[in-house]
Amino acid sequence: MLNLVATADNPIPERAEVLGLRTRDGRLLRAAIFPCPTQPRGTIALFQGHNEFIEKYFETIEDLRKRGFDVVTMDWRGQAGSQRELDDPRKGHIDDFSQYQRDLEAFVTQVLSSRPQPWYALAHSMGGAILLDAAHSSRPPFQRLVTTAPMIDLANLRFPRGARWLADTLDMIGLGGMFIPGGTGRSFIEKPFDNNLLTTDPVRFARNAEILRKAPGLAIGDPTIGWVNAAFRLMKRFEAPEYARRIRTPILTVACGREDIVSNPAIERFVQNLNNGALVMVPGAKHEIMMERDELRDQFWRAFDAFIPGERAA
């Protein structure tokens, strides 16, 4: 799907341009450009997490444009408006996180390369893990990187070794394309607000749910076994202190005090090992700080404005 979806409470930012990207392994990705209404001070590349979509970030995109930046973004393969790896459109499957690096490569060469410098990145959850992996492997094109609730490890795993063994075993015997045990094709956002793990803001939660009611094809369900196994392999590499030490890009990490999806202790250890990293904890916030209540979201923006050069919003 190479168009953007608007709702009454979530209009498409003005002058938006939608693009179709082709990766070197042939996948079609949906990307979008949102030019700053004034002379831009640079470009922010916005990278979403698992089971997210461009429309969810329209408010954040407007906030970034008000700060004087062009904004560019995309949907990762296997979700939202990008091509799926499996026939079931509700399965956001990949076999290895290196596939996401092909998405990033296509995005940089086909979208970011034409936008004004300096370039900065803002990446959430899975997107943060992908960008950290890119920063470790080679020097990325971004002068600075902001990650929110990066997926360094998962929270509340009672038997982490057993979970990894099970995912690997099921994947090896050919069940990688199945949902995780107990998983379904229903998105987090399609479930009731009560007891959700994403945000304490019922208004923004309802806004995002309305997007999926209008365009259910943007949604995917729970992870597949293969996706989880690939995520475990990447997160295992994050455990080594020298992994973070090899990263040279300045990084601001914003973590959420009421986090129940990714592991805050793992995030703290990772940031401590960075050569040029800082951590801001937002008490009271759940996993999606950019979808939180204003008083919590404002704390994120204060940290962002202190870290990313550019004009503050009025």
Of 103, 75, 101, the residue nearest 89 (C-alpha): 75
Task: Identify whether 2 is part of a domain.
Answer: no
* pLDDT tens profile 55-92: 999 999 999 999 999 999 999 999 999 999 999 999 99
* pLDDT tens profile 222-279: 999 999 999 999 999 999 999 999 999 999 999 999 999 999 999 999 999 999 999 9
CA distance linking residue 228 with residue 180, whole number of Å: 8
- According to the model, what pLDDT value does residue 1 have? 73
To which residue do tokens 């939180």 refer? 292
* pLDDT tens profile 4-46: 999 999 999 999 999 999 999 999 999 999 999 999 999 999 9
pTM of structure = 0.96
Q: What is the bridge-based pairing of β-strands 70-74 and 17-22?
A: unpaired
R_g (Cα) of the chain, nearest Å: 18
Task: Identify whether 181 is part of a domain.
Answer: yes
The number of folded domains in the chain is 1
Task: Identify whether 10 is part of a domain.
Answer: no
Task: Identify whether 312 is part of a domain.
Answer: no
CATH number at residue 294: 3.40.50.1820
* pLDDT tens profile 178-211: 999 999 999 999 999 999 999 999 999 999 999 9
* Domain carrying residue 251: 17-307
- According to the model, what pLDDT value does residue 314 have? 42
- According to the model, what pLDDT value does residue 138 have? 81
